[in-house]
Structure 1
Amino acid sequence: MAYAAYIATALLVWTACRIVYLRHLHPLAHVPGPFWASVTELYRFYHDWIQNGTYYRHFEAYQARYGPVIRIAPNEVLLTDPCHYDTLYSMTTDFYKDPAFYHLSGAETAVFAITHNKDHQRHRALLNPFFSRRSVLQQEGMVRSKVLRLLNRIQQDSQRGLTTELWAGFRAISVDVITEYAFGADRCWDFLGREDFGVWYNHLARAVVPTMYLFRVVPWLRRPMQAMPVWLARRLNPMVVGMLEFMDVTRRDVERVVGDVEHDRKPERETIFHGLLDPEATKAQGLVGVPTVQNMVDEAFGFLGAASETAGNAMTMCAFHVLYDREIYKRLRAELVQAFPDPTTQMDLLALEKLPYLTAVIKEGLRLSYGVIHPLPRVAPKAVEFNGYVLPEGTVVSMSAWLMHRHPDAFPDPDRFDPDRWLDAGRAFYLEKFLVPFSKGNRNCIGQPLAMCEVYLAIALLFRRFDDLEAIDVGPEDLVYEDYFGAFYPKDARKFKVMRRER
């Protein structure tokens, strides 16, 4: 009993000393912020895990109370002044991704998780040709075919008196596009051909991704969980089973591509992974050998996660608000009909990008879907000053699209979906500085051109074809987000469904 009391006393003394150090003696002690955030990671864990990814919803109140530099964790500072965005995320920045965060994904060799900028630059150079605007334009027909399958599904469901879960259909477009892009047409996952649009993947991602928050406070747990045999995972944690099974499906697709290359089987169209397995291309970037199968599984994991939720959220936000406001619906459709009076005319991306109201609708959809809400953590390579606060080398510094897209100087009444914000060219140029759904600089989303192609074609084709579409039993309150690095809808939110209302 005395021994236990001694241990308890020692633990209390250690905890008290640590709190005093972190709050008053730590190099960031001079930076204002919530008390508990400054002394323990458990404060952030409470909001991110226990309260279902809601930490970001406090940022505006923190900004009002603490100012433009806020300590949101023992060694992390959130910046809220938009003028600093380019400092952290420009093409020439020396700030680098925080390995303590990005390695929590379990896909450490994926290009999005490579932390140091020079290593990232060499690996990204291998992928750039496949995601360039030129390459995307060459694949525009493939993207269009996916969108048309969704529109045909809406038509068929409505004729049968059924609703169509458009939120899931949009995600199915993104998954089918990226899997065909990565693995080849014969290995597309074909979510659009499934009755439920393959929603298992969205449910799986929503269950698995939050483990990053768990691993943040107990990092030693990550490797044992990810190395767990499937038979054991089934007994202990179904969520882990889903992750392992997903990785297994992805591995089999990658191994098929490797087999094609090894046996010199030429694909109809070279895929991303055929390019990665080109020894001359890897050598030209100063890399030793071609990527391993695990490297490419990590890469596929990153592609799928980024593609499905971010583009899917943007398409969902655009379509919902067009249907929610009949005046926006009327104006958008009038512009599309005027530009393409013959409904059988093929609508191409280059023409669509020139339509001002369509572009304004899409920019508002991107603004309110945010891309990634979670602050993107970067490490200061040397001591740096922001708004009078000196931060030492090694400080984790972050900014959030949530605050950028809601900045009062740029977007008054930020929750209102208002395409008119973007119609004045001079004003739109100013607003672009705040619009960062794909981030910016040397670590911006490599899939941005492909995502924009999907969004433009999906929204334009949907509203050129249908003039009688309605959202069924859903409201703006159902499109709030829970931040699990990717933005997900709450489990109890009503799903965005549509149906045609025949005259």
Structure 2
Amino acid sequence: MATTTRAEAPELAGLPLLGSMFDLKNDSLGTFLRAQREHGDVVRINAGPPGIRATVYGVFSAEGAQQVLASDSANFRKDNAFYQELRESFGNGLLTSQDEDYLRQRRLVQPLFTKRRVDGYAEAVATEVTTLIDEWREGGTEVVDVLHEMTRFALRAVARILFGTDVDEAVEIVERSFPELAAYVLNRGYSPVNIPRSWPTPGNRKAAAVHRALYEVCDRIIAARRNTGRTDAEGQDLLTLLAEAESAEDGSFDATELREQVLIFLLAGHETTATSLGFALHLLGRHPEVRKRAHEEVDRVLQGRTPGAADLDSLPYVTQVLKETMRLFPAAAAIGRRAVAATEIDGVAIPAGADVIVVSWVTHRHPAYWEDPELFDPDRFTPEAEAARPRYAWYPFGGGPRACIGQHFSMLESVIALAMILQKYDVEAIDTEVPVGAAITLTAGGPARCRLRPRTA
């Protein structure tokens, strides 16, 4: 009987004792990009000293991403150390749960994210954009860090949709707590050895305090909503709908599950949108010809009125700007999984138990799919151009059965917000380059300042 010999993955060169540990720590995205350029679409990367060395298989092709996330997803699970740290900090919600827990949660939550339901949030999004623009105008703001401003906006928008009128308290706690807890998760998730969280070190105690603050604000809001009951004004916020989600098969969420869903929605629901909007404004500020086309479309379609969900199909170029931004700056720049059984990806052997990372940052720049990949060109996302590419040449929302449940909401929020800002302002970039790195999501290593010029048209 003939046997098939699978190729061994090429290894990225590193230091004799520590491998690529410092490369990954200092510039993981650049390291992954270099691995693909030097060795191809599946590369073995070692990091750490002998005995506790970690090995990860970087997967960079569209076909490989499709296999890991979709066609062979049952063999690639969220069993790695990073996801365990996420579970311990943010709970076992949709982002982190697996197996029957995940399927039950998804069935309960899915009706809350139908297109019709999500379209109903357009007015709340527009209200928050209007508040932001009014703050800029009343404060005489001329220069803003668009990444910071879009993070603030997206957090307020998702908090309003989750909590209704209870926005300010939640935003204040989350804005302060999330970055600290995210850094803690990242440090532990990528460390070869961790001390127990229960040990009273300064880092553990600080993280525990932040963790408590996040849980307490969610618990207070959930308890208040249950005590006061549903009113016409509050009836459509997502927290109320989550609390009322129920089926004969799956029951309903208990208090702990409800809190964990809320935390995951706050985390995943604002960072993706904030990244897309912030970098879209920065890129438009650097490319006046693209900005001019976007302004023309917004003016022609909206004629000064506030956009709603029904306008999304009429703003294709604004949508293309956002999609091209998500190609160059995907919020989920790298997605980790662990192989259950030995398999192969693109003809390369992947052993059972191996950690695998699909890296959209690299796939979105892969020369097989993208000509002049560093160029900002929204025309890459015309319907004809999209149809000509492999499905997973672009996957900013993940893919397969674990694809982001909120991707329609993110696009709705992003298109409405970008269109409304372009109605009122011409944007010129001051910082021409913004260094980025990969944490839980894509993070900026510096400001993205833009000059805002009120439009008279």
TM-score, length of structure 2 as denominator length:
0.85
1:186 counterpart = 2:165: yes
For 1:80-131, what per-residue CA distance to the aligned partner results, in whole angstroms no more than 9, with x for missing partners? 2211222111277313222432121123411110133x43122111111222
Secondary structure at the aligned position of 2:165 is classed as helix
1:103 counterpart = 2:94: no
Partner Cα distance (1:83, 1:248) in 2: 43
Partner Cα distance (1:153, 1:208) in 2: 29
Per the alignment, residue 389 of structure 1 pairs with: 348
Give the one of 206, 209, 214 matched to 1:246.
214
Larger RCO (CA under 8 A, 6+ residues apart): 2
Per the alignment, residue 445 of structure 1 pairs with: 404
For residues 158-173 of structure 1, the aligned pairs below 5 Å read: 160=140, 162-173=142-153
1:189 aligned partner, one-letter code: D
Count matched residues: 439
Contact 2:64-2:346 at 8 Å conserved across structures = no
CA distance 1:211–1:435, change in 2 (3 Å): same
Give the one of 313, 328, 331 matched to 2:293.
331
1:221 counterpart = 2:221: no
Contact 1:102-1:108 at 8 Å conserved across structures = no
1:284 aligned partner, one-letter code: E
1:284 counterpart = 2:249: yes
Per the alignment, residue 351 of structure 1 pairs with: 311
Per the alignment, residue 72 of structure 1 pairs with: 45
1:352 aligned partner, one-letter code: L
Partner Cα distance (1:254, 1:214) in 2: 31
For 1:24-46, what per-residue CA distance to the aligned partner results, in whole angstroms no more than 9, with x for missing partners? xxxx9943223659987x854x4
For 1:234-268, what per-residue CA distance to the aligned partner results, in whole angstroms no more than 9, with x for missing partners? 9x86565444433332332233334446xx77863
Secondary structure at the aligned position of 1:224 is classed as coil
Partner Cα distance (1:257, 1:39) in 2: 56
Per the alignment, residue 87 of structure 1 pairs with: 67
Per the alignment, residue 111 of structure 2 pairs with: 129
Contact 1:314-1:366 at 8 Å conserved across structures = yes
Give the one of 110, 119, 122 matched to 1:140.
122
CA distance 1:279–1:458, change in 2 (3 Å): closer
Secondary structure at the aligned position of 2:195 is classed as helix
Partner Cα distance (1:37, 1:208) in 2: 31
Partner Cα distance (1:332, 1:385) in 2: 44
Shift of 1:427: 1.6
1:115 counterpart = 2:98: yes
Give the one of 330, 334, 337 matched to 1:370.
330
Shift of 1:412: 2.3
Partner Cα distance (1:347, 1:277) in 2: 30
Give the one of 404, 419, 430 matched to 1:460.
419
Contact 1:215-1:222 at 8 Å conserved across structures = no
Shift of 1:58: 0.9
Per the alignment, residue 470 of structure 1 pairs with: 428
Q: Which runs of 4+ in 1 moved over 6 A?
A: 37-40, 264-267
Contact 1:353-1:456 at 8 Å conserved across structures = no
Per the alignment, residue 23 of structure 1 pairs with: none
Shift of 1:457: 0.3
Please identify which structure carries the higher strand content. Answer: 2
For 1:159-184, what per-residue CA distance to the aligned partner results, in whole angstroms no more than 9, with x for missing partners? x365344323322222122222222x
Per the alignment, residue 12 of structure 2 pairs with: 34
Contact 1:69-1:79 at 8 Å conserved across structures = yes
CA distance 1:120–1:233, change in 2 (3 Å): same
Partner Cα distance (1:70, 1:208) in 2: 31
Per the alignment, residue 282 of structure 2 pairs with: 320
For 1:310-340, what per-residue CA distance to the aligned partner results, in whole angstroms no more than 9, with x for missing partners? 1101001111111222111211111222223
CA distance 1:279–1:109, change in 2 (3 Å): same
Partner Cα distance (1:449, 1:66) in 2: 36
Mind listing any 5+ residue stretches in structure 2 that lack a counterpart?
A: 1-5, 47-53
CA distance 1:305–1:366, change in 2 (3 Å): same
Per the alignment, residue 266 of structure 2 pairs with: 304
Shift of 1:201: 4.5
Secondary structure at the aligned position of 1:189 is classed as helix
Contact 2:297-2:315 at 8 Å conserved across structures = yes
For 1:431-477, what per-residue CA distance to the aligned partner results, in whole angstroms no more than 9, with x for missing partners? 454111111111111111111111100111111233x4434x322x2
CA distance 1:186–1:121, change in 2 (3 Å): same
Contact 2:8-2:349 at 8 Å conserved across structures = no
Partner Cα distance (2:202, 2:217) in 1: 17
Overall identity of the aligned pairs, in %: 20
2:218 aligned partner, one-letter code: T
Partner Cα distance (2:78, 2:141) in 1: 50
CA distance 1:427–1:498, change in 2 (3 Å): same
Per the alignment, residue 51 of structure 2 pairs with: none
Larger radius of gyration: 1
CA distance 1:427–1:222, change in 2 (3 Å): farther
Partner Cα distance (1:120, 1:37) in 2: 40
- Bigger mean CA offset, 147-156 vs 439-448: 147-156
1:314 aligned partner, one-letter code: S
Per the alignment, residue 14 of structure 1 pairs with: none
CA RMSD, Structure 1 to Structure 2 (Å): 3.1
1:396 aligned partner, one-letter code: D
Please identify which structure carries the higher helix content. Answer: 1
